[in-house]
Amino acid sequence: MKFALAVYGSRGDVEPQAAVGRELLRRGHDVRIAVPPDLCGLVESTGVTAVEYGPDTRDVLFGKKTNPVRLLSTSKGYFSQTWTQMGATLASLTDGTDLLLTAALVHDIGRVREFTYGAEIGLTEEGRLLGHLVIGERMLSERSAGLLDDARRLALLHCVLCHHGPASAPGGRFASTEALALYRLNAVDAGIKGALEHGLGAD
């Protein structure tokens, strides 16, 4: 099986993914991991193929972007450009990978245009009117041209549009086992997150 993993963050965020990738590789799978450019060497030292993903974390953490006044004045354009580039990397990385894994990676990609980022996080006009499901469908449609054939593109879009339930699908029914599985996994993830945040009691 062909696996594509992606993580953006510090060494502490990347190391667990590298460990997962190394174990998958040991089991005979084809594995690629998208990570910040400065951490590609860490991943490749485990024998896993690394793909550059997003800006160098040293620039983000220690460079001029950390100046709070400059960050607030440039954040919209900076993050918009960064997410566009990272989206293109994900689209190429997932070529030939399992549909469910690809959908799991990109199912919430619309959230990057759903919110404004600055001193406070708020909804964009696009986010208020369309929501992240439709925005995600648009982003993937825009960026998948020439990368995915029609059948694979439609299968991926179906998963993304239905990951909160089949209401967005024709007839209100899932059209693939991958879409159903993604919905169930997303629901489990949300349930566990809620339990950890609010307590594990029966009430």
**pLDDT higher than 80, residue 11:** yes
Across 18-28, average pLDDT: 89
Q: What is the pLDDT of residues 93-112, one digit of tens each?
A: 666 667 877 788 889 989 98
Q: CB-based contacts of 65: which residues, under 8 Å, 6+ apart?
A: 59, 71, 74, 78
Strand partners, 6: 34
Among 86, 111, 100, 85, smallest CA distance to 7 is for 86
CA 158 to chain centre: 16
Task: Compute φ and ψ for 51, nearest 5 degrees.
Answer: -125, 130
Share of the chain above pLDDT 70, in %: 80
pLDDT over 90, % of the chain: 25
pLDDT for 65 beyond 50: no
Looking at the chain, the number of H-run helices and the number of E-run strands are 9, 5
Who wins on pLDDT, 117 or 115?
115
The CA distance from 102 to 135, in Å, is: 17
Per residue in 125-170, pLDDT (tens digit) is 999 999 999 999 999 998 877 777 888 889 999 999 999 998 888 8
The predicted pLDDT at position 164 comes to 93
Q: Tell me, what's the pLDDT at 8?
A: 79
Q: Which pLDDT belongs to residue 168?
A: 82
Q: 33-58, pLDDT tens digit by residue?
A: 888 889 999 999 999 999 888 778 77
Mean residue pLDDT across the chain: 81
